[in-house]
Amino acid sequence: MTTHTPESKCLNCGYVMDAATGFGPDNKPSEGDIAICFRCGAVMAFGKDLKLRGLSDQEIARIEADSLLVRELSLQIQGRRLLLYTRRQKAN
C-alpha cells in the first residue's frame, strides 16, 4: 500500500519523494522507519513530520547489526535500480 507523505528530497541525490510503500502488516510510515531513495538507493529515515532525514548513529548501528535488514535493503535497492534501468531502456 502506498501512503502519501510530505514532499522531501533525498539527502544524496535530491530526488523529490512524496509517497512511501512499505512491506509487512503496517505499511504506513512512522517516525524512525527506514526509507530508501527510489532513484539512488540512499538509506534515510522518516522524521516526526514524515520528511526524510539522515540516520542517527544508533540507527546505523542497528541496521549494521541486523543482517536480515541489510539483506532486505540491498534487495530493495537492486530492485529499484533494475526498475529504473528497464524504464530508461523502454524510453529509448
The tens digit of pLDDT for each residue in 1-17 reads 788 999 999 999 999 99
Non-local (6+) Cβ contacts of 49 within 8 A are: 6
Domain boundaries defined on the chain: 2-91
pTM of the model: 0.72
CB-based contact 19:3 (threshold 8 Å): yes
The tens digit of pLDDT for each residue in 15-53 reads 999 988 876 667 788 899 988 887 888 889 999 999 999
